[in-house]
Structure 1
Amino acid sequence: MGRAGGTGTGRDEGPGATDENADKTVAGTAGADAPSGTGRRRKWIRRTRRTALALVLLLLLPTLAAEIALRVNYTGDPADGTRTRNQDAIWLGHAWVDGRKGDADVAALARRLKGTGIRDLYVHSGPLEHDGTLPESDHPRAAWLIDAVHRALPGVRVQAWLGDKLATESPDGLRLGRAATRTAIVASTRQILAAGFDGAHFDLEPLHSGDRDYLDLLDRLHEVTRADQALLSVAAHQIDPLPGFHSVWGTLTNHPKWWSQAYFGQVARRVDQIAVMSYDTMQPLKSLYGGYVAQQTSLALEVTPDSTDLLMGLPFFHENRFGHRGAAETVPAAVRGVRLGLSRTDADRANFGVALYVDFAATEADWTAYRAGWVR
């Protein structure tokens, strides 16, 4: 860029002209620094923009590649026979044990479930207190429900769905690191089984991958349920869609949404039944969500022992919020994803199913899609 103030033409135009030219020379000399400073600032801005672009590309390119892989994962046809194995489940709300539901509701539920593959009902019967205890007043109609379901739906098992928010992101919540808390949860499970439930289903979250206290709790709980010939089942976090993703996400957000595949397998080996919460995936399109579910199904199948029932969650609810887009996370997309993952990994596995979340938010379209895509 040229200088902004020259020294004139160089011609001698008398004393006045000389003074004026001198003033111009001084002004030009002073102005020379300003463009130089402007140039440095512009160079800094350019460098900053280039660095920001590089960082964006560093973050976006792996994400873009992963999304393309999910879309490809949604292609192809599921294998013949990848339908219900009569090992399905559904999460039921608290209204079934607090007095809001009656005999007519059980009869309607029996009609709804007739001809499906649903074998287990996870009935919300808590939540646990922060110290691990469970007030009996939380499920006053449990005995009635268990008896009514056993009469109306022979062979269907009623499990107590227990959970609490873990104190992993705030001072409040249940702390598995306290031995007294884990002991209280074991006692609460004995209480649930004494009430007549066929099993205990735990949904404790958010839970960090690798949590040894959770594994210790499951070992102790399984001793109790086995002695009572009852089931121990858990709702499980999703598995790393990319290797080590749980560590990266946890570092950036301090929110433990994913588990490593190895940790998922450690949990699966300690229970009778594990249900993957394969929804709230942050996927914007049905094809990407279905591909994600196919991937999750394969990852879970690879590490779940044959002795453990594996269920993949279906989104029987409709919301739009961070992490969940209702138009993308649909039952048809999830069912197709489950069938594709099952086809590619272990198509003949018998103890495999889907779990429907949740009864009070389900629509007729959800039930129709489940029957048409999975039960048929």
Structure 2
Amino acid sequence: MNTRRVLRWAAPVVAVPIVLVLAAAVALRVQYTGSPAAWTGTTGHDALWMGHAWVDGRRTAADVDTLAVRIRASGIKDVYVHSGPLAYDGTLPPDRYPNARNFLKWWRERLPGVRVSAWLGQTVNDNGLHHLDLADPAAQARVVAGARTLVGLGFDGVHYDFEPVPSGDAALPAVLRETRRAIGDRLLSVSTQQIEPLPGARAPSRLIIGHDKYWTPAYFRQIADLTDQVAIMTYDSWTPLGSLYGGHVVRQTTLGMDLVPEDKTLLIGAPAYHDHGMPLGDRAESVAVAAEGARLALSEHGPRTAIGLALYIDFAATEEDWREYEDGWVRPGRNAESSAVSGVP
């Protein structure tokens, strides 16, 4: 009798989360249907995250030549070049970017119209832990000093990527305010966590992974107001199917357009990498699906000038990733199949 009673009480407890997950999946799948409007695609405000090899001496002028050919045929206006990482105390040792001057010289000669921001984030130890205490005023000052140094070296701006940052955290806004004072009107951008897709979604995800996966809309808007650009990292979405990832991108893009002022740039992160750590993620997430999701959101929202895809990341991107970016976003009308998403599983 006691066992039956326990099962009777436990059944609803187990069933409710399952029903909620299934309802969320259906909602995402519904969003990823239909055909995007013909006018949707690049607005010439796309971006590319680039690895550390460009500033540590491993890349050469010839490598810039090769990449320049690809970028000239794209909608990429900004690149974020990894120039750290910052040390545990927030300092940026000069030996982290010994080839930066040469790289900037090569870049200006070949791609004078594409801005280069120094991408800065924290060091991760062997256990995957992030030890930079961004709430420490002394660490904040060192972070800002590093950003000021790189802008003085010739970078067009600073791109921050601190992960994870709890929703509502006061340290990141403080760093952004001080960085603005330090670099003036130079470009200030930040990688953001995903926006809470539905009210209440943040708490269970935090319980499962131990930190915030989502930012509340209010906190996301606060960060957007303090920067020139925000790039939503829509990848690593936990969606097992391409259609669900597409719906996730539609939702994130829609929320982003509602929250980011028109005079700022909204970038939708597109996964040009293939080591998600789980096979389902590698199969579900792609540049093609991210592009299609962004186009569907734009179709519903209406034209927006400063919106783009941000490809992550140059050294992992395959020829297929670049083709999907071109066919699905830069020149989507060239490939009729990019307009038919209803058959995606």
> Residue 318 of structure 1 contacts residue 326 of structure 1 at CA under 8 Å; is this kept in 2?
yes
User: What secondary structure, in the 3-state scheme, does the structure 1 residue paired with 2:121 have?
Assistant: strand
CA contact (8 A) 2:122 2:130 kept: no
Give deviations 1:293-314, integer Å, cap 9, x for gaps. 0000000110101221110000
Superposed counterparts of 1:147-186, under 5 Å? 147-164=105-122, 173-186=131-144
TM-score by length of 2: 0.92
8 Å contact 2:236–2:276 — kept in the other structure?
no
Q: Quick check: 2:122–2:162 contact (8 Å CA) kept in 1?
A: yes
Q: Which residue of 2 aligns with 1:5?
A: none
Deviation track 1:62-114 (CA, whole Å, cap 9, x = no partner) reads 11101100000001121221111111110111111111111110110011212
1:374 and 2:329 matched: yes
**Which of 165, 169, 173 is the aligned partner of 1:215?**
173
For 2:91, the aligned partner's letter is T
Report the AA paired with residue 254 of structure 1.
G
Structure 1 segment 130-141 matched on structure 2, within 5 A: 130-141=88-99
Contact between 1:235 and 1:274, CA under 8 Å: does it hold in 2?
yes
How do residues 241-280 of structure 1 correspond to structure 2 at under 5 angstroms?
241-280=197-236
Q: Take 2:269 and 2:196, find their aligned partners in 1: how far apart are those partners?
A: 16
- Secondary structure at the counterpart of residue 57 of structure 1: helix
| 2:322 pairs with 1:364 | no
Which structure: larger Rg?
A: 1
Secondary structure at the residue paired with 1:83?
coil
State the Cα deviation string for residues 149-197 of structure 1 (Å, max 9, x = none).
1111120111111001589x99851112111111111111111111111
- Show the 5 A alignment for 1:31-50: 43-50=1-8
What is the distance in 1 between the residues matched to 2:82 and 2:26?
Answer: 38
Q: CA deviation at 1:216?
A: 1.4
Q: Tell me which of 288, 298, 319 is aligned to 2:244.
A: 288
Q: Which runs of 5+ in 2 are unaligned?
A: 332-345
d(CA) in 2 for partners of 1:166, 1:186: 19
Moved over 6 A (4+): none
Partners in 1 of 2:20 and 2:76 — Cα distance? 39
- The one-letter code matched in structure 2 to 1:363 is T
Partner of residue 64, structure 1: 22
Distance in 2, Cα, partners of 1:172 & 1:120: 27
Q: Using the alignment, how far apart are the partners of 1:171 and 1:146 within structure 2?
A: 32
Is 2:255 the counterpart of 1:299?
Answer: yes
* More moved, 80-89 vs 246-255: 246-255
CA contact (8 A) 2:151 2:157 kept: yes
Quick one: distance in 1 between partners of 2:128 and 2:58? 33
Q: Does the aligned pair in 1 maintain the 2:85–2:123 contact within 8 Å?
A: no
Matching residue of 2:340: none
3-state SS of the aligned residue for 1:201? strand
Residues 90 and 118 of structure 1 are in contact (CA less than 8 Å); yes or no, is this contact kept in structure 2?
A: yes
Look up the match of 1:6: none
The corresponding residue for 1:82 is 40
Are the aligned partners of 2:241 and 2:280 in contact in 1 as well (CA < 8 Å)?
no
Q: Is the 8 A contact 2:148 2:179 kept in 1?
A: no
After TM superposition, the structure 1 stretch with the greater mean CA deviation from structure 2, 359-368 or 316-325, is 316-325
Kindly tell me: are residues 276 and 360 of structure 1, through their superposed partners in 2, closer, same or farther at Cα, counting changes over 3 Å?
A: same
Secondary structure at the aligned position of 2:305 is classed as coil
CA contact (8 A) 1:283 1:323 kept: no
Q: Which whole-Å CA distance do the structure 2 matches of 1:144 and 1:219 have between them?
A: 30
Q: In 2 relative to 1, CA 323–269 (structure 1 residues): closer, same or farther, beyond 3 Å?
A: farther
Does 247-256 or 145-154 show the bigger shift? 247-256
1:285–1:63: structure 2 CA closer, same or farther, 3 Å change rule?
same
Q: CA deviation at 1:115?
A: 1.4
Structure 1 stretches of 5 or more lacking a match? 1-42
The number of residues matched between the two structures is: 330
How far residue 247 of structure 1 moved from its aligned partner, in angstroms, is 2.7
Match of 1:355 in 2: 310
Q: CA deviation at 1:219?
A: 1.2
Give the distance between the partners of 2:280 and 2:223, measured in 1 at CA: 26
Question: Contact conserved, 2:242 with 2:289, CA < 8 A, in 1?
Answer: yes
Letter in 2 for 1:67: A
Q: Distance in 1 between matches of 2:242 and 2:204?
A: 25
Taking the aligned partners of 1:283 and 1:327, their CA distance within structure 2 comes to 10
3-state SS of 1:122 partner: strand
Higher relative contact order (CA 8 A, sep 6+): 2
Q: Give 1:223 deviation, angstroms.
A: 1.9
SS in 1 for 2:255: helix
1:265-322 Cα deviation digits (max 9, x unpaired): 1100000111010100000100000010000000011010122111000000112525
Shifted more, 321-330 versus 276-285: the winner is: 321-330
CA 1:243–1:60: 2 relative to 1, 3 Å = same
Q: Tell me, what secondary structure is at the counterpart of 1:325?
A: helix
**What residue is the counterpart of 2:10 in the other structure?**
52
Aligned-partner SS, 2:189: strand
TM-score calculated relative to the size of structure 1: 0.84
Q: Percent of aligned positions with the same letter in both sequences?
A: 45
The answer to whether the 8 Å contact 1:162/1:201 transfers is yes
Partner amino acid for 1:234?
A: V
Distance 1:172 1:116, change over 3 A: closer
